[in-house]
Structure 1
Amino acid sequence: MLPSFEFFLVAIPAVAVVGLSKGGLGGAFALVGVPLMALAVPPMQAAAIFLPILLVMDAVALWAWRQYNDRRTLFILLPGAILGIGLGWATSSYVSANAMRLVLGLITVAFVLRFVAETYVRHRGNEIAARSHNSVLATFWGTVCGYSSFVAHAGGPPFQIYVLPLKLDPRSYTGASVRFFALVNLIKVIPYFALGELDTENLTLSFFLLPVALVSTLAGAQLVKMMKPAIFYPFMYGMALIAGLKLLWDGIGL
């Protein structure tokens, strides 16, 4: 059966904003997608419809950013992310998604406020030196990222908390981000199949929305490629702040 017109009214904007995010414009947009689509279908179904779309977006983003990456960042975060997905699968029935959103929102907002205080108060706008990789921090934030991605579809903010202070070249940052979340989403297919959510109906709805996913992901990638670091990093911290506030809003059930 074809989806209703009302479904498309909310599903198309939802997929478009997530596509811009997958193209490289930051995790704040991605947090809007599932709640927006959940206005038309149950939340778990919305998440299931999104997963195949995310995999297609990942493929498009991987092609768009195929020349850019930061291998060290990717490989140092992946082990924790895999552990986090496993923990999320094992404990998903015991942990409230809203509680996870609330904690992540508080951490993310505090992270951005600390950056603002350090940059514009303590250092009076002078540039702060880039932080070096830290395997302990990478394992911790990678685990939080994998866990929150599975439980609450909110893996972007923990990734930003670890990676933004590294001050990578914007294209290297985005290339590593695209590869990281492509692998995370691919791994998540296994538990979603186990939950029985990737059925024929949901896969059909995903198929109808694929053109929107393709166009919006390519558009997001093109916009990021035109950004200079002086614009990219304030923009990304702004996106992190919006993401944190959105997580707080959802977490406290407003």
Structure 2
Amino acid sequence: MIEFSWQFFAVGIPAIIFGGISKGGFGSGAAFVAGAILALVVPPGAALGIVLPLFMLVDAATLKPYWGKWHWPSAKGLMIGAVPGCIIAAYLYAIVDADIFRLLIGAICLAFVAFQLSRSVGWLTVKQIPFSAPLAWVAGLVGGFTSFVSHAGGPPTAVFLLSQGLSKTAYQATTVVVFWAVNWMKAVPYAFLGIFSWDTMMGSLALAPFALVGAWIGVKAHHLVPERLFFGLTYVLLVLTGVRLIWVALA
């Protein structure tokens, strides 16, 4: 049973606002931290159940501002790959140690940022990777799995999209439509696995206004922040996400 004390709201409100900002304007790279922070005051499974409806609400609120601006080949490939990723996660959720995947994705996040920084200072001169459907499927599969078990599908998706050199709006719009689809894929298995409950629904309802506030701030920030600064912030979020994933995995 979840206790809706002042600690729940003191932790949950800023966590959900942060998650909404990340999803609404900065590619979802660090949105999963909302669930991780919420798990400090509620059981981890309950945190998953509370956060998913809120993320679905943010998805619905941010689809319109980015409608049709996504890179469709990437979006389609990621969504196709996410289907088996979610199916595998649904079957293995109770028996597989997700820390292995957290460690792997965290390492990929940090390696990718190091790679991009090396390119920016001239240590490496490598062309951007062109779109590849198989790579999209692999990124989608990993993202679908990690999204299911910890709402951490943003990092593998970000690594794949950023390597293609998309504009900031195409990048953001693609993450919005991809995770709108992925979160719907997760909803039915969550219900069958017992992740949703009356308490999680009440928690989601209580925090819903703050999720919308975060989404609104994220959309506004996306349009106000210059492209160079936007990707700089994205790399910072990737570093924070990678470090957090590795920390959780090793702990």
Specify the TM-score bucket, using the shorter chain as the normaliser. over 0.9
DSSP-derived class of the 1:154 partner: coil
Structure 1 match to 2:217: 219
How many pairs are equivalent?
250
Q: Which residue of 2 aligns with 1:132?
A: 130
C-alpha RMSD over aligned residues: 1.8
Task: Give the Cα separation in 2 of the matches to 1:117 and 1:169.
Answer: 20
SS of aligned partner of 1:34: helix
How far has the Cα of 1:118 moved from its partner?
A: 2.6
User: Which residue of structure 2 aligns with residue 234 of structure 1?
Assistant: 232
Q: Residues of 2 paired with 1:9 and 1:234: CA distance?
A: 29
State the partner residue of 1:58: 59
In structure 1, the residue matched to 2:146 is 148
1:103-114 to 2 correspondences below 5 Å: 103-114=104-115
TM-score (norm 1): 0.92
Work out whether residues 82 and 146 of structure 1, in 8 Å CA contact, stay in contact via their aligned partners in 2: yes
Separation (CA, whole Å) in 2 of partners of 1:202 and 1:77? 29
- Contact persistence 2:70–2:172 (CA under 8 A): yes
2:190 to 189, 192, 195: 192
| Structure 1 residue 2 displacement after superposition | 8.2
Q: Aligned partners of 2:51, 2:152: CA distance in 1, in Å? A: 13
Q: Distance in 2 between matches of 1:35 and 1:108?
A: 17
1:68 Cα offset (Å): 2.1
Q: Report deviation, 1:244.
A: 0.8
Residue identity (%)? 31
Aligned residue for 1:245?
243
After superposition, the C-alpha distances for 1:190-248 in whole angstroms (9 at most, x for unaligned) are 11100122222211111111110111101111101122322222221222122111111
**How do 1:60-99 residues align onto structure 2 when only pairs under 5 Å count?**
60-99=61-100
Alignment-derived partner of residue 161 in structure 2? 163
What's the CA shift for 1:111? 1.6
Instruction: Give every structure 1 segment of 4 or more consecutive aligned residues whose post-TM-superposition deviation is greater than 3 Å.
Output: 26-29
**What letter matches 2:229 in structure 1?**
I
* Counterpart secondary structure, 1:243: helix
